[in-house]
Amino acid sequence: MRRLILLLTFSLSFLSISAQIKVEKWRIYEIILKGDSKGNPFTDVQLSAKFTNGENTKMVSGFYDGNGIYKIRFMPQTTGPWTYVTTSNLKSLSNKKGKFECFSNTNGNHGQVVVKDTFNFAYSDNKTYYPFGTTCYAWVHQGDSLAQLTLKTLSNGYFNKIRMCIFPKDYDWNKNEPLLYPLEGKPLTDWDYTKFNPPYFQNIEKRIAQLDSLGIEADLIVFHPYDRWGFQKMDRKTDDLYINYIIARFAAYKNVWWSLANEYDYVKSKKTDDWNHFIQLFAEKDPYNHLRSIHNGADLYDQTNPLITHVSIQNEDTYKAKELRPKYKKPIVYDECRYEGNINWPWGNLTGQEMVNKFWRGVVNGGFVGHGETYVTENPVKWGYESQDILWWSKGGVLRGQSQERIKFLRNIIESTPGYLTPIINTEFWVPYSYVAFKDEYFLHYFSTDQSRSQIVYLPENLKYKIEIINAWDMTITPVKGEFSGKNLIQLPQKPFTALRITKIM
């Protein structure tokens, strides 16, 4: 009998251990609660939870997800046992307690992206991150079929960041109504600004999770001016309600970035004080301190604001990154440098060669560059309520251009470097090209489209290097015979898009 009792006790103990909830570091632990939904649960109910792990504590806000369901999402950043207790003005939601075990991150999960060494980015586990982004404003508002095609295109590994709008967008080649709306009410402008539509936000977080599975950061655009529904004209109180709601819903996803606006200066209903307030609100309310930026149209925002984590620019002069780095002392990201395409708008008719050139010129001057594509085809497809072209920049789908493979080629080169690259400004001698270096171990020179002859390359006298000629358009890498040090005259092929990769021989 005693042996039977011991076995039973062991079995129950084993079941208890095996049933313990476990969550991977930087993944999501979600509390789901059933509560009263009388009145307005979006404004009348306050819900939060205090998560504790030793001396680590996090206060996280909850949100209403419809049908009487309330949720609190938490991203643990420390391994070990966590406990939590909820607080609410609704008795049925308050003083709910629980615990879980956070285990170490597995392969492929490197955490959220943060600023590293002033001018660069890294994941939470210190793995280097170099943004190679694209823009796809309204892809999340087009339905499953087109969204799946967009994800299939993204799975080819061209990009590791995508700019996307939370609100629907109204612009050329994007005139169809979204399948869902963010607020309760009647389109186009009769909204109840105090009540969100949970399925709308469920769809967005579904896409955020799908992007994360592909290793892609979701750069979420919070406000934008291209709007026929009135969302850009919400008052301060409504804006704050909206911002608090998206923080509560989305912040636990590790791949989220906050872009306060696309072309903030064209949102005429907002003033500088509003934007400063929003930046402050995200900094205070986001428990995980995700990256924050604000993107310009004609006028660059005051990027010296210490709560802005990196400079997000619309400007085609990507080679000026070297000048902006010391000015702002932040990573410089040219999220828009015009688009590869054939539309009549001047910002959307770059050739593939010009787009690739802008990427290389940005990188060898210490910046990061974003892609976009705007090709109109002769045979528009049937989608929604009208026949229309599906441009990548607006709705996603497939890429028709030539730059994406070359961008992926550059991305592979940069991700194989031994460390973060710094633009070199020579004071001893002048050279007619830009280049970056990692210590004295690695140099990357780029000669643009109009410099295809021999070039003098200066290297440390007391070290030996190997040199490879890269053609950024043909995507070829050709070794140069010999070992090199000091001053060298390197014969270049008479082709544009030539670069040199110079690596120290250990």
Closest CA to 399 of 352, 356, 357: 352
* Tokens 């001047």, located at residue: 346
Query: Class of the 422-504 domain?
Result: mainly beta
CB 501 within 8 A of CB 466: no
Cα(501)–Cα(313) distance, integer angstroms: 28
Q: What are phi and psi of 371, to 5 degrees?
A: -100, 160
Residue 392 burial class via C-beta count within 10 angstroms: exposed 0-12, middle 13-18, buried 19 and up: buried
Helix, strand, coil shares, percent, the chain, to 5 = 25, 30, 45
CB 330 within 8 A of CB 313: no
Cα(338)–Cα(345) distance, integer angstroms: 10
More confident residue, 302 or 2: 302
pLDDT at position 37, please?
83
CA distances from 361 to 167, 357, 503 (A): 33, 6, 20
- When pLDDT is averaged across residues 306-318 and rounded to a whole number, the result is 98
Residue 17 burial class via C-beta count within 10 angstroms: exposed 0-12, middle 13-18, buried 19 and up: exposed
Provide CATH 2.60.40.10 ranges for the chain: 17-103
Quickly list H helices, 364-429.
392-395, 403-415
Cα(385)–Cα(245) distance, integer angstroms: 31
CA distances from 452 to 369, 447, 449, 471, 494 (A): 23, 7, 7, 11, 5
Across the chain, mean pLDDT equals: 93
CB 31 within 8 A of CB 86: yes
Cα(191)–Cα(293) distance, integer angstroms: 28
Given a cut of 70, whether residue 287 has pLDDT beyond it is yes
Tokens, residue 162: 């995508």
**3-state DSSP call for residue 330?**
coil
pLDDT digits (tens, 9 = 90+) for 177-214: 999 999 999 999 999 999 999 999 999 999 999 999 99
pLDDT at position 377, please?
81
Provide CATH 3.20.20.80 ranges for the chain: 113-415
Q: What are phi and psi of 315, to 5 degrees?
A: -170, 140
Q: Element (H or E) spanning 12, and its range?
A: helix 2-18
Specify the pTM. Answer: 0.94
pLDDT at position 450, please?
62
Q: How many CB atoms lie within 10 A of CB 195?
A: 16
CB 142 within 8 A of CB 402: no
Cα(488)–Cα(505) distance, integer angstroms: 16
* Tokens 């911002």, located at residue: 243
Query: Class of the 113-415 domain?
Result: alpha beta
Lowest mean pLDDT among 44-48, 90-94, 110-114, 387-391: 387-391
Lowest mean pLDDT among 129-143, 348-362, 442-456: 442-456
431: confidence class by pLDDT, cuts 50, 70, 90: confident
Tell me whether the omega of the peptide bond preceding residue 188 falls within 30 degrees of 0, making it cis: yes
Q: Residue type for 460, please? A: P
**3-state DSSP call for residue 360?**
helix
Quickly list H helices, 76-169.
144-154
Largest CA distance in the chain: 92
Closest CA to 98 of 77, 74, 79: 74
293 Cα distance to chain centroid? 11
Cα(461)–Cα(177) distance, integer angstroms: 64
Looking only at the bridges linking them, the beta strands covering 455-458 and 487-490 are antiparallel
4: confidence class by pLDDT, cuts 50, 70, 90: very low
Provide CATH 2.60.40.3950 ranges for the chain: 422-504
CATH topology (fold) of 17-103: Immunoglobulin-like (2.60.40)
Given a cut of 60, whether residue 277 has pLDDT beyond it is yes
Given a cut of 70, whether residue 386 has pLDDT beyond it is no
What angle (nearest 5°) sits at the alpha carbon of residue 350, between those of residues 432 and 455?
15
Tokens, residue 357: 């050139």
